[in-house]
Amino acid sequence: MSPNPTASTQSSGPDPWPRLFSSAALLVSVVALVFAMGGLAPAERGHSAGHRAKQAAAKKAKNLSKRFARVTARCPVSNSVDLGTWCLESTTFRVPPADAGKNDYLYATQKCVKEGGWLPSAAQLIGAAPKAALKSTIDDDPGTSGTSEFPEPQNGIKDEREMTGDLFTTAAGSRAAGSEGVSAGSKGVGNLGEPNPIPVPPEPLPETLNYITVYDNHNAGGFAGGAPVGKAENFRCAYAKGSQGKPRNTSSRS
C-alpha cells in the first residue's frame, strides 16, 4: 500500500509559517529602525545648523561692535592727547600773523567751537597735565611741558600759561560781568509812561571779568592767576571722541 501523500507532506519537515512570521517581524523591525533613524537625522542636522548659525551671528555682532568702537572712539583732530572719553590738542593754537594779539577769550572760544570742540576748563587742563605738554615756566622740562628747549632772546624768554574756559570776577555790581549798555534810540513803553532810557556804552569785555589760567608746573598742573577776558593768551581746544569722519590735521597748532 502506497504511503499517504498528505501524511508524507506533513511529516517531511517543520511547519514553515512560524519562520515566515519571524522573518516578517524582523523585516518590520528593521524598517521601523530605518524610519526612526531617518526621522532623527534631520532634527539633529537642523539643531547643528542652527547652532552654527547662532555662532556665526554672534561672531558677526562682535566684529561689528569692535568696528563701531574703533570708529566712535577716535579723536576728530590728529596729533592729540587721548584722555579716555575726550581728547586734547597736543599743542596750542597757532595764531595767524593777521590775528596777532586778537586771541582773547572770545577769539579762543569761537575758534574752538568752529573746530568742533570747546575751550577746556581749568580742571580738565590740570587733570591732563601729566599727559599733555602744557605751557609752563622756563625752568620746566621741555620734554614734558610746552617750554621751549631753545628760546630765542629776540622773542623774549618768559614763563607761559594757558587760557581756560573758567571765569571769575574781581568786582561786584553792574561791571562785574560785562554789559550790553543801552543803545541810542531806545524808547520806553509809552503805555506805561516809561521815559526813554539814557544811552549807555556797552562793555562786552570788562577788565573785572577774568578767565583762569593754568600751567604745567612740572606735570602737576597749577593755577597761574587770572587775566581779563579781553587779554590775548595761549589756548588749545578739547574734543569729545566720536564718529566725526577723518581726523583733521593740526596745521593751525604751534
pLDDT tens, residue by residue, 76-116: 888 899 999 999 999 999 999 999 999 999 999 999 999 99
Asked if pLDDT for residue 175 goes beyond 90, the answer is no
CB atoms under 10 Å from CB of 35, counted, come to 10
As a whole number, mean pLDDT of residues 183-194 equals: 92
> Could you tell me what percent of the chain has a pLDDT over 70?
73
Q: 196-206 as b/e, with b when 16 or more CB fall inside 10 Å? A: eeeeeeebeeb
Tell me the pLDDT of the chain averaged across its residues.
Answer: 82
Distance separating alpha carbons of residues 101 and 156, to the nearest angstrom: 16
Could you name the CATH architecture of 80-170+208-240?
Roll (3.10)
- The owner of cell 575758534 is 111
Domain assignments of the chain as residue spans, ordered by start: 80-170+208-240, 176-201
For the question of whether the overall pTM of this predicted structure is more than 0.85, the answer is no
Asked if pLDDT for residue 52 goes beyond 50, the answer is yes
- Longest CA span, the chain: 161
Asked if pLDDT for residue 203 goes beyond 60, the answer is yes
As a whole number, mean pLDDT of residues 8-37 equals: 48
Write down the pLDDT at residue 251: 45
Higher pLDDT, 122 or 68: 122
Write down the pLDDT at residue 170: 94
Q: Is 106 helix (H, G, I), strand (E, B) or coil?
A: helix
Most confident range, picked from 65-69, 231-235, 249-253: 231-235
Write down the pLDDT at residue 45: 55
